Structure 1
Amino acid sequence: MNIWNTTTNFVLLGLFNHTGAHLFLFVMILTIAFTSLAGNTLMLFLIHQDVQLHTPMYFLLSQLSLMDMMLVSTIVPKMAADYLTGQKSISPAGCGLQIFFFITLGGAECFLLASMSYDRYVAVCHPLRYPFLMSWQLCLRMTVGSWFLGAADGLMQAAATLSFPFCDAHEINHFFCEAPTLMRLACADTVLFEYVMYICCVLMLLVPFSLILISYSFILAAVLEKHSREAHKKAFATCSSHLCVVGLFYGAAIFIYMRPKSYRSANYDKIVSVFYTIFTPLLNPIIYCMRNSDVKGALRKCMDQCAALSHH
């Protein structure tokens, strides 16, 4: 098999063929993506407009919405353009940017969810000391740290992935450039790099996940000490939205990145990637709108103001 240099474009095989059933699925996914963008934009707007949501918790939530919007914008427009035009090529630079943004946003979201779990721990276990233990300065540091760690991992993996020589069979069996899929095309020994990449993914997933488990262990212990059904309900209301988002995010990420290579299937990986990159960003604002009374109150207030303006 011949080796070609990284000036030649890759070809993304995509998700769909041009059949009636696949056209329906394409329209459905495109609709979900637009709804996801609209939902996260609405979340950002509500948090910015409502003074009651100007707290560290909702600032972290606004960053989550921003990350979800960027993730959908990184993947879906290229996928849609490839399907509609039939031109499925992507340059090495474009492929590298997709890998960089995908890993940056995924890694940053890992650490952001850990920061949000600390916020919930302080809110439940130390409510009177919340302004001190969860100050704006600490909140901004955690946010910048999340973005920085995600970007460092994304830059490292994108640069390392594209440094390999690739074979002439340059078709990527995916709908976007993902490092593990691209490694299958490399005409070199990638065992060491895949091992290092696996360790990085494990650390980026398990370190924040361990912090989340520790936070919720303290929350559970504090709640069980309070033999009050009202206290239990309040703690559940405070933490349930975040727990749902954590479950969705880590379930998909662990399924993709922490399975042994021998158990990976391209079709299953694509299905899980659709869930992770398109469905989860849609579900996050829905979860917070349905389960969070402050967000629901801000939404009702916004709708009342819109109704009043239209009435006048």
Structure 2
Amino acid sequence: MAKRIQFRTHGGPEVLEYVDFEPASPGPKEVLVRNKAIGVNFIETYFRTGLYPAPSMPSGLGNEGAGVVEAVGSEVTHVKAGDRVVYGTGPLGSYSEFHMIPAANLAKLPDDISFEQGAAVMLKGLTVQYLFRQTYEIRPEEIILFHAAAGGVGSIACQWANAMGVKLIGTVSSPEKAAHAKANGAWEVIDYSKEDVAKRVLELTDGKKVSVVYDGVGKDTWETSLNCLELRGLLVSFGNASGPVAGVNLGILASKGSLYVTRPTLGSYANSPQALQAMADEVFGMVASGKVKVDDIRKYALKDAGQAHTDLSARRTTGSMILVP
């Protein structure tokens, strides 16, 4: 029997169960992947707690992984058994030795990218790709603000921005995380536990503020993010690590300078096999060139997914986290 992580009820990391299951055979447009490494992302805590609804219960968990094609459905032509593949857009259930994936959600994993690198970078890298290259195209010498700059997405964002000649100001919660973000290429770092973020941004920009804020934190940083934006600036709210932004009065956007806000999701950008592969190719190109490094990978055994969630929620981690079956 194969092993996977599932949950029957919402709650803390203790609801995660390590259970036996029998993998099914692929449908016509499906691919069964034998996972070699599995990405861990904050969004999975939303499903576990019930902030985001799972399609059914009991539910698997996780959307990201890298491995080898075990079997393909009758209508699948672009991958075959034995191919190295990677995925980052689900469906739920990647915390498993085997995962059934719609063929359209798979990308080829280049030979020069390891399974661990693929699982560590796919979802986070795709996120940075659409944030920086599609939601708002950042430009050389532009000053931007990126919250949680020492986390998994933030670590990649710091490197990617630096490679593009963009001046990224990162927010962090400790001196250790500040050092981590700076090592990854952040132009400046603000420790929000000790400094007023909006005031410091004003100082760093000579009173101009920034054109765009990337905010994956949510409720706790909502107003701070708005206060850091220049006239007609854009807030890209792409996550809810501190809880969802709710009860928004749109008038605040007018009063703070005719601001814009968008709430993008990866699925709206990687919305076809061609778009997904093109985005993945750019991510892996950045890794292969050395512009984005994913060497800082924290590894847990699959059975220890609960501990991984405990560490993630407590913000004890930097860089990327993976589970190893």
Q: TM-score range by the shorter chain?
A: under 0.3
User: Which has the larger share of helix?
Assistant: 1
User: Which has the larger share of strand?
Assistant: 2
TM-score, normalization: structure 2?
0.24
Larger Rg belongs to: 1
TM-score, normalization: structure 1?
0.25
User: Which structure ranks higher in relative contact order (CA pairs < 8 Å, sequence separation ≥ 6)?
Assistant: 1
